Amino acid sequence: MPKMNVPGDESVGIDDLSVYVPGLFLPLAGEFSTNRGIDPGKLVKGIGIERMAVPDAHEDAASMAAMSLLDLMRRTNLHPQDIGKIYVGTESAPDEAKALGTYVIGMLEQIYGKGSFQECSTVEFKAACIGTTFALESLSYWVAAEEEGKVGIVIASDVAKYPLASAGEYTQGAGSIALLVKKNPRLLALEQIYGSFTRDENDFFRPMGCTTAIVNGKHSNQCYLDAMRGAFDSYAAKSRRLEVITPEKGECVTDFVDHLLFHIPYPRMVEYASAAILRHDWKESRRSGEIERELGREPAAQDYDDIEKYRAAEADYARRFAKSEQFLQAYRAKVKDTATLSRQIGNIYTGSIYLGLASLLELQKIHAKERVCFGAYGSGCSALFFSAIAQPQAESVPLRGLLQRLEERKQISLQDYELLHEGKKKESVLPPKGEFALMGIDHQGYRHYEYVE
């Protein structure tokens, strides 16, 4: 079987990215944890989030998307006529029919001139948190076939929202990420090997008319892990078949991976995901013997007459695996840093996995020729596992100063957070300045945005 699309002269991938995060945040330890009666240690360590980004009264998924794209265009000196398509991944769109990207184009034309984007098409991808990744996959094939030198943009934009005082509340967040997808990218060339997994599930969904998600929390964690294992197996089989990753006896697929980026609903989930995938992948490798010496034999279902006893033994083994030196070493080397920004922002749904990429870039952890694997997840549920190779110019792409920008945000009170959450705060906490703002919604429901100098 021939190798497929291994990055060469005409590789396609991510050239640059921009991140937009609202200027407001709520710390989880303090007023919030006291009011909700939750031990702050659970939020900061058990969940892994220190601060949640909170959108101000003038912000929504469309205004945040316009902000991340404007920043990307300015960073890369991109003009509207250079852009062929804008694909938007979102599950917080303000309209059931009109594409969010058309609002974004309307906003950007206030800067670049009316009609400047009229030859650019835009479509929305909805698949919970995996929407942006499906957008990236599709757009990469369009970019590969494009012959006029145009580039594509993928935008993730979401407000992650659960009911007040629910178990989902402390995993909220908000933000947008814009990715520049082009031929011969400076950052990451996609290997175009996608392993997928899909199953009908009720782990997390938002029926028409609901403003917050309905979530079966523990079940959602399990669905995420099952789907990720399925997508990983599919990726591993394809990459072997295509001879892109060719482990020898005793080796395994993740031995050929330098960074493992997972969808980050909250940082601890990345720990659970990496433990599940590495344990699974190591089973056939020389590491399995080393792990067995450290932890003893894995529980096997046939050794138990009671399924509950087997489940308890399995949960105990998984906990011990996640504390094993073997796992912790791999976790620190390949995974831990990906959650740096998420700890300060929370879940931004479909952009969360790319927030992981932004973390690695800001920490200057990605080096030329390294393989970066992505494990995307979207409730409902789907997972996609795919890979990219860091390009020689990856380290020379200017940083975005994200960690500093996060320090400059304004802390808000629990009362302001609750009013914003319930849509009862009409005045912005921070009046808009140098940004797109939602100015009003007219009697038909059409939204009016303006760039406020």
The residues binding ligand HMG (CB under 6 A) are 39, 41-42, 45-47, 91, 128-129, 167-168, 171, 203-204, 215, 217-218, 220-221, 224, 263, 265-266, 269, 347, 349, 377-379
Q: Cβ closer to ligand HMG: 73 or 264?
A: 264
Cα dist from 113 to 80, 110, 176, 424, whole Å:
9, 6, 23, 34
Q: Cβ closer to ligand HMG: 117 or 162?
A: 162
Give the shortest CB-325-to-ligand HMG separation in angstroms: 17
Give the shortest CB-377-to-ligand HMG separation in angstroms: 5
Q: How far apart are CA 59 and CA 68, in angstroms?
A: 13
Question: For the stretch 188-219, what's the b/e string if a residue is b when 16 or more beta carbons lie within 10 angstroms of its beta carbon?
Answer: bbbbbbbbbbbeebebbbbeeeeebbebeeee
Q: Cβ closer to ligand HMG: 167 or 368?
A: 167
Give the shortest CB-167-to-ligand HMG separation in angstroms: 4
Using left for φ > 0, alpha for ψ between -120 and 50, and beta otherwise, residue 388 falls in beta
Q: How far apart are CA 313 and CA 86, in angstroms?
A: 48
Q: Cβ closer to ligand HMG: 108 or 276?
A: 276
Give the shortest CB-299-to-ligand HMG separation in angstroms: 18
Q: Cβ closer to ligand HMG: 42 or 286?
A: 42
Q: Cβ closer to ligand HMG: 242 or 345?
A: 345
Give the shortest CB-229-to-ligand HMG separation in angstroms: 14
User: 364-367 contacts: CB < 8 A, separation 24 or more?
Assistant: 364/395, 364/399, 365/259, 365/337, 366/187, 366/259, 366/390, 366/394, 366/395, 367/394, 367/395
Q: Cβ closer to ligand HMG: 136 or 215?
A: 215
Q: Tell me the residue nearest to ligand HMG as measured from the CB.
A: 46
Question: For the stretch 121-134, what's the b/e string if a residue is b when 16 or more beta carbons lie within 10 angstroms of its beta carbon?
Answer: ebebbbbbbbbbbb
Side-chain-side CA neighbours of 135 within 13 Å: the count stands at: 34
Give the shortest CB-307-to-ligand HMG separation in angstroms: 21
Give the shortest CB-169-to-ligand HMG separation in angstroms: 8
